[in-house]
Every structure is written in structure tokens, then in C-alpha cells.
Structure 1
Amino acid sequence: MKIALFPGSFDPVTKAHVDIVKRSVNLFDKFYIGVGVNSSKQGLLPVSKREEMLRAVFAYDERIHIIAYEGLTVDFCRSINADYMIRGIRTVSDFEYEKAIAQMNHALEPEIESIFIVSKPGYSSISSSIVREIIRYNGDVSQFIPKEAIPFLQ
């Protein structure tokens, strides 16, 4: 069975995240979205709210499982028997950053493969960090996030 994990903070989930999931899910038998607790990021939404938001966004697909985790992502992969880790790439700097993480993850757990999915051009400028900043200043983020996520941001 091919099991994949798409880890991230999803604070909040964006249309770019949704695109990566839609393009990846058919490659696997089971697909997890892991809501990671990142100690270096200041969160906008509590983890439980992010899980709820993701469940609302992906309610249409029973193959997608949403679960929060803390700690090393490779350890979480082992706990759910995932052999693949999906990562979205928007820019060259994303690639450099994700490559370094993938190489470290491979050193920690050689059996887990990182798979990079390149963002569609229309989504390459969308990041949760920028969306959070727009929200903090009461801007309209509806063009950047799925409509199912909007109620979780009000």
C-alpha cells in the first residue's frame, strides 16, 4: 500500500495547498495531511481549528485523512507507515529549502522518499505567511483560500 504524508502548518490552508493535494492524492492508496506544530512559527489559528478547517475543505474525498502531529516529520511518517512525503515547491528558494530538509530526512530515514510537486504558476505567490499578514490587517483573502476555509477565519 502506498501511503503519503503532506506535512505543513496550514495556518491557514490556501488554494495552493489544495492544488498540491488534488494533484497528489491519486498517486497513493492513502493520503495524510499532517498539521505540524512548528516551534519557529507564530500561529494564527490553533492546531485544532486548522484540523477542522482542513476536514471541511477536503470533506469530499474519503482517501484524505487529516491529523495533527508534533515532533520530527520522519518520526510521524514512521508512525503512520508513510513511505512518501509530499512537498510543494513555489519558487527556487523553496526548492533549495525543501532540498536541504529532504536530504536531512533521508539521512534520518532512508526509506522515506520526498516528492516535490511544483506549484502551478497562478499559485506560486500564495503563501500562508502572506495570507496571515493580510488577515491581521483585515484584508480580503477570499481569492487565496478555499471557500470552505473562510468561516474558520472569522
Structure 2
Amino acid sequence: MKRIALFPGSFDPFTKGHEDIVLRGLRLFDEIVIGIGRNANKQRYFALEQMMRLIEETFRDYPTVRVVSYDDLTANVARQLGARFLLRGLRNTTDFEYENGISQVNRFVYEEVETVFLITSPHLAPISSSIIRDLHRYGKEIDSFLPYKFQEL
């Protein structure tokens, strides 16, 4: 049976930390689907279509990585994709506390799904999407935190 992992998130934006989790996850899984969830309670800072295109370009040489967007429960999407694993990155204990609760609910919704946590590589741990959004909002350079060259629309 093919080991498919869904790597869910808002990815607003997708960072070098996210890229690191995907690349390391490829050692564990046959396929990784990067799922950009739409959250009705959040307004995106970077356009969804643009982010999908940039992530696809980042992994153009990795045929076992694909990108989808969704507006549903993550566990439902994993089931629809045939993914038995959810891949998540942890930067710190605060991330663990948050992710632990979500993983329990995902198991409730889709009993066969397992959440696999990878600890963020130390040199990437300080990077967060919210910090990158703040830097961008105030006109600071963000490309050094991203696995692609960001260009304004």
C-alpha cells in the first residue's frame, strides 16, 4: 500500500521551514500532498493561487509532491486523497500543544489517520509565516526565508 501523507496548512506564505519538512518527509512517505486549507475565519495575506504556483514551482523536480487547496475538514480531505498520514512540523512546545489537540480530533473524524510530527531543523525554527507577513507588510526583504523568489503580483 502506498504511503501518502497530507501536509496541511494555510502556508501564507510557504517557508523554508515548510520546505524542510516536505523534503525530510519524502524519506518516510511515497507521496506528499501539500494541502492549502481555506479558513473562513482568516483573510489570506498572499493570494492562494499565487502560493499554489510558487509551491508547485519549488517542487517541480519532485514528482511525488503535489499541491491542492481545500475547504473541508483536514481529516475528510486526507480520506478523500487516500492519505493515511498527516505530516506536521513542530518548532517548539507551543506548536506541540496546539497540534496535539488537532491530531486527536483528526483521529476522531478519520480513525485510520496517523499524525506524524517532525521537529523543525534548528536553523529554521525561528521562521514563521506570521513573522514573514509582518516583515513584508513593513517593506522588509523576505526572500531569505522562502524557498522561492517572491515577486509581487
Q: TM-score range by the shorter chain?
A: over 0.9
Partner deviation per Cα, 1:22-58 (whole Å, 9 max, x = no partner): 1001211221000111223331122111110101111
Which structure 1 segments of 5+ residues have no match? Answer: none
Please, which runs of 5 or more residues in structure 2 have no aligned partner?
A: none
The equivalent of 1:101 in structure 2 is 102
How big is the alpha-carbon RMSD for the aligned residues of Structure 1 and Structure 2? 1.2
Count of residue pairs the alignment pairs up:
152
Question: Quick check: 1:18 aligned with 2:16?
Answer: no
Are 2:93 and 1:88 equivalent residues in the alignment? no
Q: Contact 2:33–2:67 at 8 Å: present in 1 too?
A: yes
CA displacement 1:124-147 (0-9 Å, x = unmatched): 11111110111111111122111x
| Deviations 1:86-130 (CA, angstroms, capped at 9, x unpaired) | 000001000000001001111111100000010011111111111
The Cα of 1:149 is off from its aligned counterpart by 4.0
Alignment correspondent of 2:79: 78
Q: Which residue of 2 aligns with 1:137?
A: 138
2:143–2:149 CA contact under 8 A, matched in 1: no
Alignment correspondent of 2:6: 5
Which SS does the other structure have where 1:86 is aligned?
Answer: strand
8 Å Cα contact 2:76/2:109 also seen in 1: no
Q: Secondary structure at the match of 1:74?
A: helix
Matched position secondary structure for 1:143: helix
User: Corresponding residue for 1:150?
Assistant: 150
Alignment check: 8 A CA contact 2:87 2:115 kept: yes
Which deviations, in whole Å up to 9, do the C-alpha atoms of 1:47-98 show, x marking residues without a partner?
1111101011111111101111111000100110000000000010000000
Q: Does 1:118 align with 2:95?
A: no
Amino acid at match of 1:4: A
Alignment correspondent of 1:55: 56
Identity of paired residues, percent?
A: 38
Q: How much has 1:13 moved relative to structure 2?
A: 0.9
8 Å CA contact 1:57, 1:149 repeated in 2: no
Show the counterpart of 1:30.
Answer: 31
Structure 2 CA distance for aligned equivalents of residues 72 and 52 of structure 1: 23
Alignment check: 8 A CA contact 1:13 1:149 kept:
no
Counterpart position of 2:41: 40
